[in-house]
Amino acid sequence: MGAVRETLDAVRLVDHHCHGTVAADLGRDAFESLLTEGEAWPGISPFDSPAGVAVRRHCAPLLDLPRHTPAEEYLARRSELGRREVQRRFLRAAGTDVFCVDTGYAPDPLTTPREIAEAAGGTSYEVVRLEGVAESVQTAGVEPDAYADTFRTAALEAVRRPGVVAVKSVAAYRTGFDLDPARPSEVEVTEAARRWFARGGRLDDPVLVRHLLWTAVDLGLPLQLHTGFGDSDIRLHRADPARLTDWLHLTAGTIPVLLLHCWPYQRQAAYLAAVFERVYLDVGLTLHHVGPARAGGVLAEALEITPFRKLLYSSDAYGVAEFFHLGALAFRQGLAELLQGRVDADELSLPDALRIARWTGRDNALRVYRLEADGPEDD
């Protein structure tokens, strides 16, 4: 093992974007459906995918099983140990001590940020999903012309809670990024709120999505943006972050914008990070889906032109604790492969490689979110 990998193994990662795990013991169907961004399908097991292979290879040993354990045995052992022990093992193995947890997506009951942190022996912070705040405002009932103020107040309250360090938007899912970049007028927002309240359902009005993004600017906290792939609800080509360029120009010099996931647009994201001061990226979610075998290839593209202060680590783990471990492992393995290869070819000095390893695994996130590594004030 090279020096870069040793350093990366020793770095306590900051996972700047993740979710809780399902707070229930999982049967085969439930586990499999969490293993994929698709559905579980008749006759095709989600274990027969790069992520499934990676679980059997890299997660089985942590459950005292041999590498490449068959899915049945893996699931049986997982049940035997129980979800708390399983979670503890994977979170300890992740070598992560800071978690920024998006608490706004919970089709299932999930472990809390505090539970994640405790299982990992680390610290957690919270990320507020703005669509959730807006939808709560709508559900609570408000006149259309009061929507903008009420949403803003609710968002301010949400982010002022202790431990909140960022907001997140899933505009990519709701409208994609082909939005008018300008801040909508009060009249436009009221009119759009009227339409939304009459129609109901989730927030997907283009005016209100724009308004949400601009509200994020007003809040002043870093904004995490889903970009690139996800489940079938996304329209992939509309989630290309390059389509945000006009908005990034209008909001330049305000809040940090963190492009999440990005695949297959990691190069487009890298371009934005290279030309806009406050734009950052990660390849979270991607890393555990492609697995450690391919993480180096994806990271090589993500880092082609990205300034080394601009790449962050996230797992985007959701639902199963395995992804905290796999994401961290794929990141460490892929980045070490890339950096060590350049050191060996004398394209990069070892001290530079180690600095890049520490920056991307930890320091960049501490810097962007102004985190104290020992946790939020009230903890």
Q: Is 267 in the site for a second copy (CB under 8 A)?
A: yes
Assigned token pair, 301: 């593209």
**Residue from 26, 171, 216, 298 binding a second copy (CB under 8 A):** 298
Closest Cα partner for 110 from 18, 20, 17? 20
Say whether residue 51 binds a second copy (CB under 8 A): yes
- Does position 5 interact with a second copy (CB under 8 A)? The reply is no
Stretch that binds a second copy, among 3-11, 86-94, 95-103, 261-269 (CB under 8 A): 261-269
Binding mask 307-346 for a second copy (x = CB under 8 A): xxxx-------------------------------x--xx
We find the least distance from the C-beta atom of residue 354 to a second copy, in angstroms, to be 13
CB atoms within 10 A of CB 109: 9
Burial of residue 20 (CB within 10 Å: 0-12, 13-18, 19+) is buried
Residues 6+ apart with CB under 8 A from 141: none
Q: Judged by CB under 8 A, does residue 347 bind a second copy?
A: yes
Stretch that binds a second copy, among 189-197, 210-218, 231-239, 370-378 (CB under 8 A): 231-239
CB of 305 to a second copy, least distance (A): 5
CB of 251 to a second copy, least distance (A): 13
Site for a second copy (CB under 8 A): how many residues? 65
| CA Rg value for the chain | 20
Nearer to a second copy, 51 or 134 (CB): 51
Cβ distance to a second copy smaller for residue 27 or 297:
297
Choose, by CB under 8 A, the member of 102, 131, 240, 316 that binds a second copy.
240
Which of 14, 26, 34, 54 is close enough to bind a second copy by CB under 8 A?
54
Question: Is 83 or 210 the residue whose CB approaches a second copy more closely?
Answer: 210
Is 50 a binder of a second copy (CB under 8 A)? Answer: yes
Is 275 among the residues that bind a second copy (CB under 8 A)? yes
What are the structure tokens assigned to 338, written together?
């890339």
| Among candidate residues 350, 327, 341, 252, the one with its CA nearest the CA of residue 19 | 327
Least distance CB 78 / a second copy (angstroms): 19
Taking the least distance from each CB to a second copy, the nearer of 347 and 372 is 347
Strand partners for 261 = 227
Single out the residue of 67, 143, 220, 374 in contact with a second copy (rule: CB under 8 A): 67
- Residue 347 CB, shortest distance to a second copy, in Å, is 4
Rule CB under 8 A: choose which of 33, 79, 112, 245 binds a second copy: 245
How far is Cα 15 from Cα 323, in angstroms, rounded to an integer? 12
Q: How far is the CB of 70 from a second copy (least distance, A)?
A: 10
CB closer to a second copy out of 63 and 133: 63
Interaction between residue 291 and a second copy (CB under 8 A)? yes
Which among 9-17, 87-95, 136-144, 227-235 is the span making contact with a second copy, rule CB under 8 A?
Answer: 227-235
Footprint on this chain of a second copy (rule: CB under 8 A): 36-39, 41, 43-44, 46, 48-51, 53-54, 57, 67-68, 229, 231-232, 234-237, 240, 242-243, 245-246, 248-249, 263-264, 267-268, 271, 274-277, 289-294, 297-298, 300-301, 303-310, 342, 345-349, 352
